[in-house]
Structure 1
Amino acid sequence: MLEEWAGPAGSPDFAAIKADQFLPAIDAAIALSRAELTAITDNPAAPDFANTVAALERSGAALARVRRIFWMLSSAQADDGIHAIEAEVSARLTAWGTEVSQNAALFARIAAVWKGRDSLDPEQARLVDNSYKGFVAGGAALEPEAKRRLAEISERLGMLGVTFGQNVLAATNATEVLVAEDEAGGIPDDLRAVAAAAAAARGLTGQLLFGLDRGTYEGLLTFADTRSVRERVWRAFTARCQAGPYDNYPLIAEIVALRNEKARLLGYDNYADFALEDAMARTPAAAAGLMERVWRPGLIQAEREAAALQEIVDRDGGGFTLAAWDWRYFSDRVRRERYAYDSGAIRSRLSLGKVRAAAFAAAGRLYGLRFTRRPDVSVYHPDVAAWSVDNDDGTRVGLLFTDYLARPEKHGGAWMGSLRVQEKIDGPVRPIVYTVANFTRAEPEDAALLSLDEARTLFHEFGHALHALLSDVTYPSLAGTAVARDFVEFPSKLMEHWVASPEALRGFGIPADLADAVARAETFGQGFATIEFLASAIVDLKLHQAQPPPTDIEAFERDTLAALAMPAAIGMRHRLAYFTHVFDGGYASAYYSYLWAEVLDADVFEAFTATGNLFDRDLADRLRREVLARGDARDPMQSFTAFRGRQPDEAALLRARCLA
């Protein structure tokens, strides 16, 4: 596990990786890294960029390989062997990270180079500044007792994050809804087939057994005609991790308290101030200001939408007030009746194979990329496919793994990661990237049907992958998606446009009139989508600003939503109890990032639409050169303005969401 990967395209041999090898491999890799750092700190020469910062960039290669494979498997293929050691792996890696960041001799050398950073080239200066700030954030400038406490906090937070994620995975796998055949009207055939097979495996006759990954959950809420089915599904999904063996509320209370203590040790008033210091927003006030400016028009639009939905309920003689489990179902009705938009008909054409091929084709037309299936490359599960990525002149770009179907070993949601990042500090190193999703299973895989939202998810994660694949920087710490949290979602949000345009939809064989109806129907539902998202983002930010941190997390969530006048018929997209972005990911205080990035993506997409050609190659080449290739080699606002010629236009977001 410590050796450089020698498989095709420089890939690892997953078949040779065993869970019981990880802990000794991590220990050995840490020992190698410690020796490399000792060589830096013992160097008698005065510290300079080459012998300190660049040397630090070169260190830790073996540990990076082991660590990246482990976290890939722990999220996408978390079998019992991985589960058993996940907490210990987190503890050892956290302890090592603390040892590095609190290494006084290493920090002294970094600080010396940082003081002379004005003499370096821009990319070197950026790396030095990032390195210095990273050491400070790790406690390098603290007194010994504060360092010790910060180390304890970091180790405990790592353990709590692992437990939180494992609870969400276990609770999701344990959450099922049994539906009688005579209650299943409206549910698409492919969802019924999976549920029928699950019921048959349990010996349940005349029943359908639905697991509740997000795709199935949203599909049932959209299509199930029986209101009681929709209610059972909604209640089961939104009640996860709030009681019983997988109760995450006590974990959240401890997490936010420890994060707050960490921030105050480092000199900040609260965790949000600490977390956003290097973001594009810079301050929680700026992030909150954007959300507030969007919340009000979103709420007004949501109220209009609710009235339209209630009108249909009343017209049908429903005799009930619209509830959260009704919204998607009646929204689909409105889109069909007002806009001739048939989500079921669209879904029937959006097979996984076609959507993936469309993503590859879009990258080809925009950036001149070609994707070739590599059956000779080792994969970690039969669902996974490997693809060589090349420029149209034949030069190699990197390797991409795709892993799209839901399975019990996989955490929920969708994400992108890197097994190896691009760099050229000692010659070109090509990236190895993976994208993961949880679409409802089908046989064969390519026949799995996706909703338009799920197709957007595939394109979204593919946008992250392109950001990593098209990186062109010198130093690995600056590569690809290693950018500010509220900038990283910009290339991925932007990529979503190339699946939902009428031109793209017609490419799936969707009739022109139905494809055109999508654009019209998109104007309906933006209020719901805005409020559903913002509720989660606002609660996240306020939770990490609260002084003192709350101990009753359920009450904090409830009271915050009440203060916002949250509509009863719209739920948070992610309730705190299963909000893995925030408590088992890197989005604490920063879930707003998707909205901030949407300002950028809406503005940039307007540049494409203004050309009259969504695949304008000159514009795409400039985007690749000024944004995607740059990674974190310069301030993200500089990258944006280099492409757009000005600061981002916030009004573009309101126009894109039909809230202007």
Structure 2
Amino acid sequence: MIETLLAPSPLPFAAPPFDRIDPAAYLPAIRQGIAEAAADIAAIVEDPAPPSFDNTIVALERAGARLARARRIFWTVSSAQADETIHAIEAEIGALLTAHGTSIGHNPDLFARVKSVWEARDTAGLNNAQARLLEHGYRGFVDGGALLDAADKARFAAIATELSSLGTLFGQNVMAAAADWHLLLDPADLDGLPQALRESSARRAEARGDRGKHLITLDRGDAENFLTFSTRRDLRETLWRAFTTRCDGGAHDNRDIVDRMLALRRERAALLGYKSHADYALVDSMAKTPDAAEALLMRVWTPALAQVAAEQAELQAVARSDGQTAEIAPWDWRFYAERVRRDRYALDGAEVKTYLTLDRVRAAAFDCAARLYGLTFERRQDLPGWHPDVDAWAVSRNGATIGLLYTDYLARPEKHGGAWMGSLRVQEKIDAPVVPPVLPITYLVANFAKAPPGADTALSISEARTLFHEFGHALHALLSDVTYPSQAGTAVARDFVEFPSKFMEHWIVAPDTLARLGMPADLIAAIGQADDFGQGFATIELVASSLLDLAVHRSTEAAPDSAAITRATLDRIAMPAAIAPRHGLTHFTHIFDGGYAGAYYSYLWAEVLDADAFAAFEDIFDPALADRFRREILAPGNSRDPLASFIAFRGRPPEEAPLLRDRRLA
């Protein structure tokens, strides 16, 4: 039973046999995998030969392969198709894996071997990728507590275990809060809503036994569509308050979890000699320090405040023309911004969605990858997914197979919210040419509202961008060309990983792409013009969340008060009252149930890289330039410094001016 998870699959690509996995096998398989991985580590430690790059660093790259297979399958299913059985074991599996990782990092004999290799690095004849692997490996041990004394190691391990459990509970609370809340509407309450939202909300209501009603959820797609189109200001306020205060009190309260996680992260950073968790989190980033990250954010924040003031004045004028005497509130902003786009630019969001159906947008993404990188995608109906909505695609480049892609785009209650990319296997050629290179298996997950049977699922321009964004992550994984698995694809610095994904977003709004989707020229022009409006709002929303993340993770208080830090930070930066940060702390899964703690600013830095790189494309389908992007940005992964990769593509370090122009802040 557990071998289904641990052993290589007999299916093509060694794709996981999802249809044959028994959920009861996850826990014993993980336990078995940990035992085998521990034996791999023991073999490295007990090797009588003097420590070398091959018998220590490369051996660590190979260790625990069967555990990695089971772990990746479990986390894929737990995020995209979790039932009560999965939820019941998430925390335990997280704790087991955390303890296993800590035991490796705190193994003094293993660290002694790594340190010995590291100290001899200058005379070992290593190439650049090997030197970087060694440097990261050594630093990983140090930041994992290898230099601590016994008492501090014990405390470090206890902190890691508690953080793992709290992170799981935080994410489960966010899912549960979204599942528990709903806005049940009568047909008379639907004024302004697009037909697609009316139909999807009717199906959800009927599934709950409320035939003839319409059910709106706290999924971001639902919420933003409702806030954009509903003419009912009272209902917009109800939804906005519920959406922005998820887990801020009530049965799924995350407030104490947030403060406890902040305290534990601060304590861990202090054990390692860092001033704060933000200092610890950014040491391996392109920014390097919290001061540098905040300086970037503030250079964008200041002009964004001026831009958003102009936008707000325009929205207020439209609201007053409707007879609204009150000041624009946060639940009004998207509604009146849509009015401006429609009235000024003749951009009808509902009409746009008729051209952006899911199948056509996915096909457009594949077509762009074909024109840029020579990729083709073949549906593989012989490979099962974790749900009937999941499709498998064999990916080839210039006729040669390079990997496998799963797509899972439709909303389900069992999914975490939002959209993401992950890997079931990463590219590597550690044993080549004796063993053929290992091809990547990657997947994309989103939460687009499913159309009724026989109809096409329609996407907004924002949702189409999301599909292209996550597809950009997948291309990073699929086009990886490295030797060592820990350097493959998206395993790069946190503030570099979002660069290829942001970069890919440009192609869904390219006039050529939209024309191929059948969109008329006037609507394409309206999309381009409307992109100019609302950049202030989008910037403030994103940067405010980034500044909050930095603020709470720069705290040196033993018992941080996240609510007080939030109030002080928003006051300090003069946060406009009519806009809320994109993520409130109590549902900010990126930083409390993800890998962005202290580093959410990465999204903005990635836009700096993206805007500057895209500015090089006079012809956005320039095959020679696209191939250089593939070679210098996508293929190297973490085998070299990300700044060196950017310079290799652009010929110089990144500049901020293109971002300010793109966001209309120059």
Measured after TM superposition, the shift of residue 199 of structure 1 is 2.7
Name the SS of the counterpart of 1:543 in structure 2: helix
Query: Alignment partner for residue 22 of structure 1, among 26, 42, 45?
Result: 26
The letter for the 1-side match of 2:74 is F
Aligned 1:378-527 pairs, distance under 5 A? 378-392=384-398, 394-427=399-432, 428-444=437-453, 447-527=456-536
Greater shift after overlay, 18-27 or 214-223? 18-27
> Can you give the 5+ residue segments of structure 1 that lack an aligned partner in the other structure?
none
SS of 1:244's partner is coil
The answer to whether residue 332 in structure 2 is matched with residue 323 in structure 1 is no
Summarize the Cα distance change of 1:261–1:446 in structure 2 as closer, same or farther, 3 Å threshold. Answer: farther
Partner of 1:7: 11
What is the SS of the residue equivalent to 1:659? Answer: coil
Q: CA deviation at 1:443?
A: 3.5
Q: Deviations over 1:163-191 (max 9, x none)?
A: 00000011111121122221211101111
1:207 aligns with 2:213: yes
Q: Which residue identity does 2:421 align to in structure 1?
A: M
Is 1:250 aligned to 2:286, yes or no? Answer: no
Q: Hey, what does 1:44 align to over in structure 2?
A: 48
- Alignment-mate amino acid for residue 395 of structure 1: A
Q: Which residue pairs with 2:197 in the alignment?
A: 191
C-alpha separation between the residues in 2 aligned to 1:149 and 1:202? 47
Residues 352, 446 of structure 1: 8 Å contact kept: no
- Whether the 8 Å CA contact 1:502–1:518 is kept in 2: the answer is no
Deviations 1:112-167 (A, max 9, x none): 11122233111111100010011111111111111110000000000000000000
- Equivalent in the alignment of 2:356: 350
- Correspondence for 1:601 among 610, 616, 619: 610
Percent identity reads 57
Instruction: Tell me, yes or no, if the aligned pair for 2:421 and 2:442 is still in contact at 8 Å.
Output: yes
Q: Which amino acid aligns with 1:418?
A: S
Residue 41 of structure 1 deviates from its aligned partner by: 0.8
Give aligned pairs, total. Answer: 656
The equivalent of 1:35 in structure 2 is 39
Note the alpha carbon deviations across 1:548-585, whole angstroms, 9 max, x for none. 15543233323321221111111111100100000000
Q: 1:431 to 1:203 in 2, by over 3 A?
A: closer
Three-state SS of the structure 2 residue aligned to 1:186 is coil
Aligned runs of 1:239-278 on 2, under 5 Å? 239-278=245-284
Report what 2:110 is aligned to. Answer: 106
Contact 1:543/1:549 (<8 A) preserved: no
Q: 1:29 to 1:204 in 2, by over 3 A?
A: closer
Decide whether aligned partners of structure 1 residues 132 and 203 sit closer, same or farther in structure 2, where only a CA change above 3 A counts.
closer
Does 2:168 align with 1:153?
Answer: no
Q: Residues 58-106 of structure 1, C-alpha deviation per residue, up to 9 Å, x if partnerless?
A: 1110000011011111111111110010000001000000000111111
Task: Report the equivalent of 2:94.
Answer: 90
Q: Distance in 1 between matches of 2:89 and 2:570?
A: 38
Whether 2:67 is the aligned partner of 1:58: answer: no
**Counterpart in 2 of 1:654?**
660
What SS class does the counterpart of residue 616 from structure 2 fall into?
A: helix
Q: Secondary structure at the match of 1:464?
A: helix
For 1:312, the equivalent position in structure 2 comes to: 318
Q: How far is the alpha carbon of 1:9 from its aligned partner?
A: 2.0
Classify 1:387/1:206 alpha carbon distance in 2 versus 1 (closer, same or farther; 3 Å): closer
Counterpart Cα distance in 2 of 1:86 and 1:140: 27
TM-score normalised to structure 1 length? 0.98
Taking the aligned partners of 1:194 and 1:512, their CA distance within structure 2 comes to: 29
Q: 1:624 aligns with which of 621, 625, 630?
A: 630
**329, 336, 341: which one aligns with 2:342:** 336
Is 1:550–1:556's contact at 8 Å kept on the other side of the alignment?
Answer: no
Q: Structure 1 residues 31 and 201, CA, compared in 2 at 3 Å: closer, same or farther?
A: closer
Residue type at the aligned position of 2:188: D
Match of 1:638 in 2: 644
SS in 2 for 1:178: strand
* One-letter amino acid of the structure 2 residue matched with residue 487 of structure 1: F
Give how far 1:205 is off.
5.9
Is 2:289 aligned against 1:286?
Answer: no
3-state SS of paired residue (1:544): helix
Cα 1:51/1:219, change in 2 over 3 Å = same
Report the equivalent of 1:180. 186
What does the per-residue CA deviation read over 1:418-470, in whole Å, with 9 as the maximum and x for residues that have no partner? 00000001130000000101111124598111110110000000000000000
Q: 1:142: which partner in 2?
A: 148
User: Deviation of residue 519 (structure 1)?
Assistant: 1.3
Does structure 1 conserve the Cα–Cα contact (< 8 Å) formed by 2:206 and 2:212?
A: no
Q: What code does the residue aligned with 1:323 have?
A: A
Whether contact under 8 Å (2:227, 2:335) holds in the other structure is yes
Moved over 4 A (4+): none
Stretches of structure 2 that go unaligned for 5 or more consecutive residues are none
Give the TM-score taking structure 2 as reference length: 0.97
Q: Distance in 1 between matches of 2:475 and 2:43?
A: 36
Alpha carbons of structure 1 residues 337 and 419: separation in structure 2 relative to 1, 3 Å: same
The answer to whether structure 1 residue 375 and structure 2 residue 384 are counterparts is no
Q: What per-residue deviation string (whole Å, max 9, x for no partner) do you get for residues 490-532 of structure 1? A: 0000000000122222221111011011111111100000000
**Residue 384 of structure 2 corresponds to residue 361 of structure 1:** no
- For the residues of structure 2 that align with 1:462 and 1:197, how far apart are their CA atoms? 29
CA contact (8 A) 1:374 1:388 kept: yes
Q: Which moved more, 1:334-343 or 1:124-133?
A: 334-343
Provide the rounded CA distance (Å) in 2 between the counterparts of 1:244 and 1:329: 29
Deviation at 1:198, TM superposition (A): 2.8
Structure 1 letter corresponding to 2:296:
L
User: For the residues of structure 1 that align with 2:75 and 2:429, how far apart are their CA atoms?
Assistant: 24
Cα offset, 1:203, TM superposition? 4.5
Whole-Å separation in 2 of the counterparts to 1:397 and 1:520: 38
Work out the CA distance in 2 between the residues paired with 1:460 and 1:169: 23
Name the Cα RMSD after superposition. 1.2
Shift of 1:535: 0.8
SS in 1 for 2:383: coil
Aligned equivalents of 1:633, 1:553: Cα separation in 2: 37
Q: CA deviation at 1:230?
A: 1.1
Describe the superposition over 1:635-659 as per-residue Cα deviations: whole angstroms up to 9, x where unpaired: 0000000000000011111011111
Shift of 1:602: 0.1
Query: What SS does the corresponding residue of 2:578 show, helix, strand or coil?
Result: coil
Deviation at 1:319, TM superposition (A): 2.0
Which amino acid letter does the alignment assign opposite residue 397 of structure 1? I
Conservation of the 8 A alpha-carbon contact between 2:200 and 2:452: no
| Aligned mate of 2:78, from 63, 74, 77 | 74
C-alpha displacement at 1:206, in angstroms?
5.2
The 3-state SS of whatever aligns with 2:305 is helix
Among 574, 577, 586, the alignment partner of 1:568 is 577
Q: Tell me if 1:586 matches 2:595.
A: yes
8 Å contact from structure 1 (residues 175, 237) kept in 2: no
Q: Name 1:538's counterpart in structure 2.
A: 547
